[in-house]
Amino acid sequence: MSLWRAVPEPAAHPGADLAADPAADPAAEPAAVLDVAGLEAVLDGGAGVGPVDLRLAPGEQVLVLGPSGAGKSTLLRCLHGAVPHAVPARVSGRVAVAGRSVAEHGVAALADVVGVLAQDPETGVCLADVADEVAFPLENLGTPPAAIGPAVAAALGAAGAGHLAGRRTDALSGGELQRVALAAAVVTRPRLLLLDEPTSMLDADGVAAVRGALAAARASTGAACVLVEHRLDALAGDAGVAGLPGRWLVLSADGRVTHDGPAAEVARDAGPELLARGCWLPEDVELAVALGGAAGEPGAFDLLPALAAGAPPSRDPAAGRGEVLLAARGLAVGRRPAGRAARRRPAAQPVLRDVDLRLRAGEVVAVVGANGSGKSTLVATLAGVLPPLAGVVEGARPGLVVQNPEHQLAGRTVAAEVAVGLPPGPATDDGVTAALARFGLAALADRDPHRLSGGEQRRLSLAAMLVHDRPVLLADEPTFGLDRHGTADVLRALADSARAGRAVLLTCHDLRAVASVADRVLVVADGGLVADVDPLALLRDPRLLAAARLRPSRLLRRLAEVVGDAARLRDALAALDARALRATGAPDPAGAPDPAGVPVR
Amino acid sequence: MTALGARNPTVKLLLVVAVSLATLALLEPAALAALYLLGLMSARWGAGVGGRRLLLAQVPFWTFGVGVLLVNAMSRPGAVLVAGGPFRVTHEGLVVGAALALRGCVIGVATVAFLASTPPRDLMVSLVRHARLSPRYAYALLAGHRMLAGLPRQWATIRAAQLVRAPLGRDGRPREGWRGLARSAFALLVASIRASERVALALESRGLAAGPRTIWRPVPLGAGDAALASGVLGALALVVLMGARL
């Protein structure tokens, strides 16, 4: 099923006759909802996008693809005037929405025809009450109050958030917030919907909920839609290419349009290049690129058994039998409510209790569980930055990288950031230089760390932690929000750390990342640790998967059927990554293992 | 909903201002004490502030009041009541000090009653409608208020993230001086500025502009508010008159 196609099929290529809107008079050619001609935008920092030409018929859906930094979000912001009206930039060319010139109208003056859903759920919702939030755009348009109530209820219903009416927005999860923001974006029944990576900051549950909500909301409004998304594998789900908009527009790294056409065609032509550039593609496209065949054909998954059987062993099977470096006994973890008054209250409720765990030298342990199940709290307690509510943590002081690398930034330059917390001296200088080189940051040494990309910031936070040389490394969602290359870099750094004799523990929502790096998986649910298994056993246990709210993709399910043990699963995934990279002509970074640590990037 | 909670926020705000101005005209401790008592009663039963919470909310005003009382009692010239060493307490000083202290307490309890009975959303909606406040400011303030509520948690997250690399002190706990706090504050500032830019864009893309707009669930202004206003103003006038007679 694809509700992305519940609207007229896209034009074969730009400039061709636009697909007819079945609702319109068949004799009249429908006017374009979006008309972009010769658009070029250069932001103050020098980044930019264009030239772009794009016409969208009523109800037409287009997916904008491109590597990190290609200007996808900038393009989207040009379409509703945020660039240049709110974000300064030099813009040339013409953008018109529903016949209105964006350059002459501000962002607010287009609010009746454009709905926007941004990436960050926390800042996409502005008011304290869910219903007020959804009513807000209608109030701004001067809608008669009597008509607002029913419209709010309808929009919340269409976004799968009807049950949230009357709730306070500060008590909602990311997925719930994003559905409320979606309701606020469609409540005005806009003719154009702009979706900027709407699921990239959500867990599997949130992605699934928002995916359904997007489909229903588009179907109910019939709006044309421009979608920017890099976690296409997650957004497409099991439907693969068919679960995405039917028209794809590909931007190159320098912001030019390289492809524009039907999804299957563009996936075939641009797939290898996109994969090489680090884009997350739907699994059927990835398999087609890596193993040959056409995207969308179910046969691609039948090639997996052969791949798994032929994959070379990638890691020493004796790993994970080292000495215990960190142990927790009878641990109860939880956050005390903030504020002085709260401290006088009796002890905080633990979110996890009776946790016993041991981390051994040389192993990588993943912690999985639903949002809010206490994974981050557990990691913070193990790291010693949060006192345990009960029990003890024994072992040397661990290192920790937190989910948002910006929270850890403390230096003015990249080099200074790595040196934070170390005594000044030549030994530190040498260590910093080596760490920068190892993580591919040497060229950025004098840059402001706040101005780096997400992937660069993540590598920086790992470099800055590993230079402290602590025996245990803890990482909270280290792959969150990264592109394919960024994820691969992080996983390789973690595996190298373990190989160098550390114990590594990470929390992770991404089952593929868990399966390709972890020796053991701890499952957190119902206020405690419910399982300590290897990744393959987790994939094969529907009860555990449900408890952790995890949904393995088709690729992982198929591999779990055909491999004999967890090491084979990891080898098969490594082989798939290597094949994908080879098919794209990129050098294979995992090709030459080095006991001292493979240079990352 | 409490009795005061059902009243119009703009009316309540104006009454708080009126009470504050009236206290400026009074220098009689007895009259001010009467006002303070009335204020405490309306906060307790009108706005439904719990006894313990009400008491705690008075602590800062009492602390301030004691300071004002002592300074005035011991520094104003007049009939000496008590003298010891370099200190002397005068009758005039005691009276003026008590009046000034009570003035602070009256304004304080009126504000507590107002804040406890007024949700921010109702205040802004009412100010836009009844006091012609620009919706751009009103909704920006509301969005800012929502962000403010999340700051303590974000601060705790950033502090924990930054303490990981801090050197350990003798007690085995991470040790960071004011530099560490400054770094954390900077990280919080950067995060807040980014977030506020995104919120501002979200408000604008939902059509928030200076132009005319409707209000879905308006805050009513009616006979009850007129009754409240006349009641409060009447009581004020009575107290001021009695104060003048004393």
In a shared domain, residues B15 and B98: yes
Interface predicted TM-score of the whole assembly (ipTM), two decimals: 0.83
In a shared domain, residues B159 and B193: yes
CA distance B116 to chain A (A): 17
Closest by CA to A487, choosing from A375, A580, A376, is A580
Which chain B residues are Cβ-neighbours of A384 within 8 angstroms? 174
**A21: confidence class by pLDDT, cuts 50, 70, 90:** very low
In a domain, A422, yes or no: no
Tokens, residue B146: 């929502």
d(CA A205, CA A42): 37
In a shared domain, residues B113 and B226: yes
CA distance B246 to chain A (A): 43
In a domain, B4, yes or no: no
**A293: confidence class by pLDDT, cuts 50, 70, 90:** low
Tokens, residue A56: 């969208």
pTM: predicted TM-score of the whole model, two decimal places: 0.83
Say whether B190 and A450 touch across the interface (CB within 8 A). Answer: yes
Name the one residue in this structure whose structure tokens are 């290597």: A578
Length of chain B, please? 246
Contact assessment for residue A566 and residue A306, using Cβ atoms and an 8 Å cutoff: no
**A551: confidence class by pLDDT, cuts 50, 70, 90:** confident
Question: Chain-wide mean pLDDT for chain A?
Answer: 84
Q: How far is CA B44 from CA A437, B1, B59, B116, B224, in A?
A: 65, 14, 16, 10, 19
pLDDT for the residue B67:
94
pLDDT for the residue A319:
54
**A296: confidence class by pLDDT, cuts 50, 70, 90:** low
The count of structural domains within chain A is: 2
Q: How far is CA A250 from CA A18, A225, A247, A273, in A?
A: 20, 16, 10, 10
Q: Is residue B128 within 8 angstroms of chain A, CB to CB?
A: no
Contact assessment for residue A223 and residue A59, using Cβ atoms and an 8 Å cutoff: yes
Contact assessment for residue A376 and residue A507, using Cβ atoms and an 8 Å cutoff: yes
pLDDT above 90: residue A580: no
Which chain A residues are Cβ-neighbours of B205 within 8 angstroms? 80, 82, 107-108, 111, 114, 116
Closest by CA to A478, choosing from A433, A508, A441, is A508
pLDDT above 60: residue A354: yes
The count of structural domains within chain B is: 2
pLDDT above 70: residue A31: yes
Q: Secondary structure of A549-581 in the HEC alphabet?
A: CCCCCHHHHHHHHHCCCHHHHHHHHHHHHHHHH
In a shared domain, residues A276 and A392: no
Say whether A108 and B190 touch across the interface (CB within 8 A). Answer: no
Q: Is residue A316 within 8 angstroms of chain B, CB to CB?
A: no
pLDDT for the residue A367:
95
Identify residue A9 by its one-letter amino acid code.
Answer: E
First to last CA, chain B: 39
Which chain A residues are Cβ-neighbours of B169 within 8 angstroms? none
**Pairing state between β A48-56 and A100-101:** unpaired
In a domain, B1, yes or no: no
Taken in order B77, B79, B83, B85, is the CA torsion positive or negative? positive
Identify residue A23 by its one-letter amino acid code.
Answer: A
d(CA A400, CA A417): 15
In a domain, A375, yes or no: yes
Contact assessment for residue A272 and residue A294, using Cβ atoms and an 8 Å cutoff: no
In a shared domain, residues A361 and A278: no
In a domain, B125, yes or no: no
In a shared domain, residues B95 and B174: no
Segment A289-308 shows an average pLDDT of 75
In a shared domain, residues B13 and B109: yes
**A391: confidence class by pLDDT, cuts 50, 70, 90:** very high
Q: Is residue A337 within 8 angstroms of chain B, CB to CB?
A: no
Question: Which B residues 182-221 touch A at CB under 8 Å?
Answer: 183, 187, 190-191, 195, 198-209, 211-218
Contact assessment for residue A418 and residue A432, using Cβ atoms and an 8 Å cutoff: yes
Which of B162, B204, B215, B217 to mutate against chain A (most A CBs within 10 Å)?
B204
In a shared domain, residues B115 and B229: yes
Residues in Cβ contact with B141 at an 8 Å cutoff, skipping those fewer than 6 apart = B120, B124
In a shared domain, residues A246 and A356: no
Tokens, residue B12: 């309540």
Residue A515 or residue A240, greater confidence: A515
Question: Which B residues 51-90 touch A at CB under 8 Å?
Answer: none
Tokens, residue B46: 């009108």
Which of B214, B215, B217, B219 to mutate against chain A (most A CBs within 10 Å)?
B214
In a shared domain, residues A199 and A283: yes
pLDDT for the residue A315:
61
The pLDDT tens digits for A428-473 are 999 999 999 988 899 999 999 988 888 889 899 999 999 998 999 9
d(CA A126, CA B9): 21
pLDDT for the residue A113:
93
- Tell me, what CATH number does A292's domain have? 3.40.50.300
- What DSSP state is assigned to residue A303? G
How many contacts does A have with B, using Cβ atoms within 8 A? 158
In a shared domain, residues A276 and A328: no
In a shared domain, residues B18 and B111: yes
In a shared domain, residues B27 and B97: yes
Tokens, residue A295: 């995207």
In a shared domain, residues B32 and B67: yes
In a shared domain, residues A281 and A361: no
Contact assessment for residue A117 and residue A146, using Cβ atoms and an 8 Å cutoff: no
pLDDT for the residue A257:
93
**A484: confidence class by pLDDT, cuts 50, 70, 90:** confident
d(CA A180, CA A170): 12
d(CA A39, CA B164): 46
pLDDT for the residue A143:
92
CA distance B22 to chain A (A): 34
Count Cβ atoms below 10 Å from residue A167 Cβ, excluding itself: 15
Q: Which of A151-155, A531-535, B91-95, B166-170 has the lowest mean pLDDT?
A: B166-170
What b/e string do you get for B105-139 counting C-beta neighbours within 10 Å, with b at 16 or more? bbbbbbbbbbbbbbebbbbbbbbbbbeebebbebb
Name the one residue in this structure whose structure tokens are 């004020």: B236
Edge-to-edge strand order for the sheet containing A503-507? A399-401, A472-476, A503-507, A364-369, A520-525, A528-533
Domain hosting residue B58, numbered range: 9-119+220-245
Length of chain A, please? 601
pLDDT for the residue A46:
79
In a shared domain, residues A359 and A282: no
In a shared domain, residues B38 and B89: yes
Domain hosting residue A84, numbered range: 3-8+30-122+190-296
Identify residue A359 by its one-letter amino acid code.
Answer: L
In a shared domain, residues A354 and A284: no
Identify residue B234 by its one-letter amino acid code.
Answer: G
Contact assessment for residue A2 and residue A237, using Cβ atoms and an 8 Å cutoff: no
pLDDT along chain B (246 residues), means of 10: 91 95 89 94 93 93 94 88 85 92 95 94 92 91 90 89 86 80 90 91 90 88 94 92 77
Say whether A139 and B202 touch across the interface (CB within 8 A). Answer: no
pLDDT above 60: residue A345: no
Say whether B198 and A120 touch across the interface (CB within 8 A). Answer: yes
In a shared domain, residues B139 and B200: yes
In a shared domain, residues A265 and A212: yes
Count Cβ atoms below 10 Å from residue A446 Cβ, excluding itself: 10
**A316: confidence class by pLDDT, cuts 50, 70, 90:** low
Question: Which A residues 360-419 touch B at CB under 8 Å?
Answer: 380, 383-386, 397, 399-400, 402, 404, 406-410
In a domain, A308, yes or no: no
* Ordered alpha helix ranges (H), chain B: 9-24, 29-41, 51-75, 91-117, 120-130, 135-163, 178-205, 223-245
pLDDT above 50: residue A598: no
In a shared domain, residues A511 and A551: yes
Closest by CA to B191, choosing from B165, B159, B158, is B158
Say whether A128 and B146 touch across the interface (CB within 8 A). Answer: yes
d(CA A139, CA B131): 18
In a shared domain, residues A219 and A360: no
Contact assessment for residue A398 and residue A384, using Cβ atoms and an 8 Å cutoff: yes
pLDDT for the residue B233:
95
In a domain, B124, yes or no: no
In a domain, A515, yes or no: yes
pLDDT for the residue A209:
77
Which of B118, B165, B173, B219 to mutate against chain A (most A CBs within 10 Å)?
B165
Name the one residue in this structure whose structure tokens are 């508010």: B225
Say whether A335 and B198 touch across the interface (CB within 8 A). Answer: no
The pLDDT tens digits for A107-133 are 999 999 999 998 888 888 999 999 999
Question: Which A residues 431-490 touch B at CB under 8 Å?
Answer: 450, 464-465, 468
Closest residue of chain A to B181, computed from CA coordinates:
A410
Which chain B residues are Cβ-neighbours of A181 within 8 angstroms? 202
As a whole number of Å, the CA-based R_g of chain B is: 24
Bond into A84 cis (ω within 30): yes
Among A127, A399, A406, beta carbon nearest to B146:
A127
pLDDT for the residue A317:
53
Q: How far is CA B21 from CA A401, B18, B106, in A?
A: 55, 5, 11
In a domain, A353, yes or no: yes
In a shared domain, residues A538 and A487: yes
In a domain, B3, yes or no: no
d(CA A596, CA B29): 80
In a domain, B214, yes or no: no
pLDDT for the residue A29:
53
Q: Which of A73-82, A234-243, B15-24 has the lowest mean pLDDT?
A: A234-243
In a shared domain, residues B193 and B237: no
d(CA B62, CA B71): 14
d(CA A421, CA A353): 32
pLDDT above 80: residue A532: yes
Closest by CA to A483, choosing from A447, A517, A507, A459, is A459
